Structure 1
Amino acid sequence: MKLVQDQLAEERSTKSSLEARAIGVITSSGALATLLFALAALVTKAAGHELPDLARLVLGATLVAFMGAAVLAIIAARPETYQEVTIESLRAAATQEAMGAPAEKGESEIARVLVDIIAKARDENGNKARFLRRAVTLESVAAVLLALAVAIVLVQG
């Protein structure tokens, strides 16, 4: 029974960790997109200086990648309905008959319910992890594109 309870605690911890990391991706994508706009504004404000066409194209792709990363991270961080013990099953467990049943019977039933909860939590955590991996990948692509855009501006500027 301890193993089952530990696994449930681990899945709940994983959920919190995935959501916290997703919030980090949202924050960093927003900050880097802001820097992108600052760069574009700074370069175009220089007297008589225009952003090279290639830099504009790369900056546009960078913006799309940052937005994609943020959207995927928001999906990863969104609240999900995780399966929990229902009120009805708690009421059934609190009846006089259930309380008088042998401990072995009660523990096996409780373990079965917790395993069902763990299975659902693992599915949901797997979904969150997939969206988070995609978000991090897109954010990485966006960071490389941003560096490329800066290099283009420096070389052609």
Structure 2
Amino acid sequence: MVSSDPRAGGIFAAFIAEQLSEERSRKSSLETRGLALITSTSTLVTLLLAVATLATKFGKSSLPIASTVLMIVGLATFVMAGVAGVYCNSPQRYSEADPDDLMALLRRDYWTSDTVEAEINVTAAQRQILADARKENARKALFLLFGFASEIISIVTLGVAVAIILAS
């Protein structure tokens, strides 16, 4: 970020614009991981149901109570993981520049005004957009973390349930 302009404002503006770009990339990354969570959760729920079906087809008319409870817990936590993944991909209220405010910038007197004032106004707007995006992305990240933790719990409970079924 080397500039021939001796004023520092351009450096600050470029830094905030870069931070905003990185936060938008983070949003995209969180949404992609949310989709991966949904995909893996649905696959594992299918596996859970297959295990229950197979267990009953191999001569076990009823499953041990402990394995049944663990499978119910596993199913419930799979559902929570799926919901967390869906939340990560649901439309959220990310701030952006208001189109009406942008239309006002097309007035000739703005185009011929001082560039320092313009840099300050644009940078202030970008800073607000950045703050709102960080807040929403932090919320999505928490849901994603909760979703993956739920999926881990589900996998463990399903594994223990299968072990109990095989041991009985």
Report the TM range for the smaller structure's normalisation: over 0.9
- The superposition leaves residues 21-73 of structure 1 with CA deviations (integer Å, 9 ceiling, x where unpaired) of 11111111110010010011011012355321211111111101101111122
How far apart, CA to CA, are the structure 2 residues paired with 1:74 and 1:105? 42
- Aligned equivalent of 2:24: 12
Is residue 77 from structure 1 mapped to residue 89 from structure 2 by the alignment? yes
Q: Tell me the CA shift for residue 3 of structure 1.
A: 0.8
Cα distance in 1, alignment partners of residues 117 and 143 from structure 2: 40
In the alignment, the residues of structure 2 paired with residue 68 and residue 81 of structure 1 have an alpha-carbon distance, to the nearest angstrom, of 23
SS of residue paired to 1:83 = coil
The alpha-carbon distance between structure 1 residues 68 and 9, as it changes in their structure 2 partners (threshold 3 A), is same
Letter of the structure 2 residue corresponding to residue 132 of structure 1: L
Percent identity (aligned): 35
Tell me, in whole angstroms, the C-alpha distance in 1 between the residues paired with 2:134 and 2:30.
12
CA distance in 2 between counterparts of 1:128 and 1:31 reads 22
Equivalenced residue count is: 156
Structure 2: give runs of 5+ residues left out of the alignment.
Answer: 1-12
- TM-score after normalising by structure 1: 0.95
Q: Within the alignment, does 1:89 sit opposite 2:101 as a pair?
A: yes
Q: 1:101 to 1:56 in 2, by over 3 A?
A: same
Relative to structure 2, which stretch is displaced further, 46-55 or 133-142? 46-55
User: Of 113, 123, 137, which aligns to 1:101?
Assistant: 113
C-alpha distance 11-66 of structure 1, shift in aligned 2 (>3 A): same
1:30 maps to 42
- Cα distance in 2 for partners of 1:148, 1:31 equals 18
TM-score, with normalisation over the residues of structure 2? 0.89
Q: 1:121 corresponds to which residue? A: 133
Q: Alpha carbons of 1:139 and 1:48: their partners in 2 closer, same or farther (altered >3 Å)?
A: closer
Partner of 1:52: 64
Residue pairs, 1:135-146, within 5 angstroms: 135-146=147-158
Show structure 1 runs of 5+ residues with no match. Answer: none
Match of 2:161 in 1: 149
How large is the RMSD of aligned CA atoms in angstroms? Answer: 1.1
Q: Distance in 1 between matches of 2:73 and 2:99?
A: 50
Taking the aligned partners of 1:6 and 1:66, their CA distance within structure 2 comes to 37
Q: Which residue identity does 2:33 align to in structure 1?
A: R
Runs of 4 or more, structure 1, over 4 Å off, are none
| Structure 2 residue aligned with 1:64 | 76
